[in-house]
Amino acid sequence: MFNDLSKLGKYLGQAARLMVGLPDYDTYVTHMKATHPDRPVMSYEEFFRERQEARYGGGTGRCC
């Protein structure tokens, strides 16, 4: 029973983060290991910074 609740909590947390635009680091790591095992995996800090820049256009000439 607790295993099911744990899975439910994880999925709800992931859904909430995606709704507000925060990507899931665990999903990224799983994807990289399965699909691109030859590439290095970014640290959480690098991943978060890269996703912020991708979303908010870090240095793309925007005025705001």
The residue ranges of every structural domain in the chain are 2-56
Which DSSP symbol is given to 15? H
Q: What is the pLDDT of residues 29-46, one digit of tens each?
A: 999 999 999 999 999 999
Q: What is the pTM of this model?
A: 0.58
> Can you list the alpha helix ranges (DSSP code H) found in the chain?
2-19, 25-35, 44-56
pLDDT band at 16 (very low <50, low <70, confident <90, very high): confident
Whole-angstrom distance, CA of residue 18 vs CA of residue 14 = 6
